[in-house]
Chains A and B, each alone.
Chain A
């Protein structure tokens, strides 16, 4: 990342480089409005996974907390929203907010073991949480058992051939990206990075470890919940399998593949994990194989993810064209 000019990180929204980046992002996000219905559907999924991945980047990228519990938050987002709508007759936005609060609580609970455990052990515990939620919703009648829950049809999801719903997802993704940039570049990011680099040093400078680790989990849970709710709305059917522990690994992979050095890394990674299965749909299971192979290749050759690959290419092009 040696190509970053002075202060670009701190100056954030004002530097010309991030203005170019923002323009590109807006163009890419607007394009699906003029694409075919199917492409828009894929783009909608991309936005949803991007929200999840941007949220997961906060514990992973800033606090070095390797969480595989993200599918639990997404599951809570989907199921709690669905139940609030179906049983309580709540309007969708209120149901989503209620689910979000519940997911944040689950996030705070998952943060508890993070003081006792670190690295690998914590990853296993969060994975266990993913599994616990997945198995639980399959058991109880309230959550529809193995069949899952059918949401009522909402006009706004299908409105304008999916354009409205896509716009909502894209808007929420942009909002999420903006918040994550503020978190990353501000004092929350500093505190999380310090606690990851050296917990004793961070404590000596007034960092309350439990509090900031809880904050990292809660923020990621909020993103996960919103993504889970949107995923449920997009299909209007909530199948437990859609929120299996696999999903945690997928979102984790999106963060790793995209790269963690920049806020947009997980957005790129999310595109990747949405596109590969779609592109290789015609041949059964090929998607999974290609996906796994590319994951291994990218993580090995470019530990910094796709963004490291891109900066590498840019540096090479820059040398050729002075």
Chain B
């Protein structure tokens, strides 16, 4: 398998603080790739670099042979990179469907149909709603389509972010702590949903998680960060076998 995403020597400095130091990572096409590490390891910083929200100090980001660092943030969705946000970025006063619709992009700019109640406009709107509902169905939340987001539990909102990202028809889906705040049943369902998306949509998934059982369940490969450096990279069970990972992880956690 070839690498869909290649992260080479990425370094991020905030003032004098080194958030990431020479990070290398290859995400294979069609894989579920886990990104783990103790709190403050730089996982979200790395995701933000790939998502072009943070400008790295050094290093290269290549996505499907495309130099990501030459791209503005608003190009990413079109290139096929979509994401969820660690602290949720939803419009709480709108419905679930409205929020998911934000992920939809039609080719081309705005046309007269966006300003006038034409037949074509209603056809396109109906099409968009159907796509959004289908994305919601991927995370089993279509029955909440017309509810206000603000009233739904945290775990549902995380999944709604996934549905919104799916609307962009991504090749790479980046999930920032999708398991945070989920109970074991919900986590199982999420695992099933992630694997199903990989199978049916041909997605590549890069996910940050703190739940090792979840990671072992869904991931094909894992990269471990600690204090901004990659300390291990390989099959998921290295979290049990690699001494450095156990030291960083278990030492920090327990």
**Residues of A participating in the B interface, judged by any CB pair closer than 8 Å:** 6-7, 10, 12-13, 178-179, 181-183, 186-188, 190-191, 193-194, 197-198, 200-209, 215
Contact = CB atoms under 8 A, between A and B. Distances in A.
A203 B74 contact: yes
Interface stretch (B56-64, B104-112, B177-185, B231-239): B104-112
A179 B116 contact: yes
A190 B103 CA distance: 10
A182 B116 contact: yes
B101 A183 contact: no
Sort A-B residue pairs by CB-CB distance and give the 4 closest, nearest first: A201-B89, A206-B77, A203-B73, A6-B146
Interface stretch (B23-31, B37-45, B121-129): B121-129
Contacts, number: 80
Interface in B50-75: 51, 53, 72-75
Interface residues of B, number: 36
A204 B115 contact: no
Given A201-B85, A201-B89, A207 B74 contact: yes
B98 interface: yes
Q: DSSP class of A's interface residues: helix, strand, loop or mixed?
A: helix
Given A10-B125, A203-B74, A188 B116 contact: no
B164 A205 contact: yes
A143 to B, nearest CB: 32
A122 to B, nearest CB: 21
Contacts of A203: 72-74
A280 B125 CA distance: 47
A205 B125 contact: no
Contact of A194 (B73, B76, B102, B146): B102
B73 A200 contact: yes
Contacts of A12: 117
B204 interface: no
Contact of A187 (B76, B82, B128, B168): B128
Nearest to B109: A211
B221 interface: no
A171 B252 CA distance: 69
Contacts of A205: 77, 82, 102-103, 105, 164, 168
Given A6-B146, A179-B115, A186 B77 contact: no
Nearest to B97: A10
